[in-house]
């Protein structure tokens, strides 16, 4: 059987081995718009789990460990703020993220959300001073005091870069980046 009908959403021909949707974007949008699985239509299920305060509209349903709300849509987990965006404005274009103006991860208020790229998200984080650097990073091997000591020892001329790498149990390239101020730039 060469043809088993047409694909949902875009209507192109569907062969036996092909899936119902031509792309995950069409599948995801169709799942949100056509109200799919779960106990009842998506929109009422979504808004039942929202507490509208004077500022943010807070998600009261399930959460990821990262603090973002999550709900089940078409047998998969979707972040609540993404569902809010799609219910209000339609499909999220490929490559776009739904970002928060208010920086409240549980907020699903549509006018607190905007579209942007990953680079926009990182730039927003840095501009608002939320980025971790130096010893605040979870995997940091050095403290600011150690970085200052390393720079002063090397400047005094008493120790080589390989010796510093061995003393602080870090790689030679890490020592070079610290001494050339390519990393740990915030340490004077």
Predicted confidence at residue 20, as pLDDT, reads 54
| Longest distance between any two alpha carbons in the chain, whole Å | 80
Predicted confidence at residue 3, as pLDDT, reads 42
Q: Are 58 and 138 part of one and the same domain?
A: no
Whole-angstrom Cα distance, residue 33 to residue 51?
Answer: 23
Predicted confidence at residue 14, as pLDDT, reads 54
What tens digit of pLDDT does each residue of 23-40 get? 555 555 444 444 344 556
Q: Are 144 and 112 part of one and the same domain?
A: no
Classify residue 9: in a domain, yes or no: no
Residue 187 CB: number of other CB atoms within 10 A?
19
Q: Are 58 and 107 part of one and the same domain?
A: yes
Predicted confidence at residue 36, as pLDDT, reads 44
Predicted confidence at residue 163, as pLDDT, reads 94
CA distances from 80 to 28, 41, 126, 153, 186 (A): 14, 15, 24, 52, 36
Q: Are 41 and 57 part of one and the same domain?
A: yes
Which residues are within 8 A (CB) of 173 and not within 5 positions of it... i.e. 6 or more apart? none
Predicted confidence at residue 86, as pLDDT, reads 93
Predicted confidence at residue 186, as pLDDT, reads 84
What the block records as the tokens of 116 is 């942007």
Helix (H, G, I), strand (E, B) or coil at 176: helix
Q: Are 90 and 170 part of one and the same domain?
A: no
Q: Are 173 and 138 part of one and the same domain?
A: yes
Where a domain ends, among 87, 108, 127? Answer: 127
Q: Which residues of the chain have pLDDT under 50?
A: 1-3, 7-9, 29-37
Classify residue 119: in a domain, yes or no: yes
**Number of domains the chain contains:** 2
Q: Are 121 and 42 part of one and the same domain?
A: yes
Predicted confidence at residue 133, as pLDDT, reads 72
Q: Are 87 and 164 part of one and the same domain?
A: no
Start-to-end Cα distance in the chain: 72
Domain with 77 in it:
35-127
Predicted confidence at residue 54, as pLDDT, reads 94
């Amino acid at each position: 059987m060469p043809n088993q009908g047409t694909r949902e959403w875009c209507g192109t021909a569907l062969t036996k081995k092909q899936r119902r949707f031509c792309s995950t974007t069409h599948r995801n949008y169709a799942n949100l718009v056509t109200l799919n699985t779960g106990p009842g239509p998506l929109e009422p299920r979504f808004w039942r789990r929202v507490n509208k305060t004077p500022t943010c509209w807070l998600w009261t349903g399930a959460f990821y460990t990262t603090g973002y709300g999550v709900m089940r849509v078409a047998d998969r987990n979707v972040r609540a703020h993404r569902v809010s965006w799609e219910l209000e404005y339609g499909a999220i274009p490929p490559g776009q993220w739904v970002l928060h103006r208010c920086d409240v991860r549980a907020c699903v208020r549509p006018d607190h959300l905007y579209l942007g790229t990953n680079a926009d998200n990182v730039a927003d984080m840095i501009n608002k001073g939320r980025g971790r650097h130096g010893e605040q990073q979870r995997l940091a091997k050095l403290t600011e005091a150690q970085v200052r000591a390393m720079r002063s020892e090397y400047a005094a001329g008493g120790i080589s870069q390989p010796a510093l790498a061995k003393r602080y149990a870090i790689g030679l390239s890490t020592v070079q980046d610290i001494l050339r101020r390519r990393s740990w730039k915030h340490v004077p």
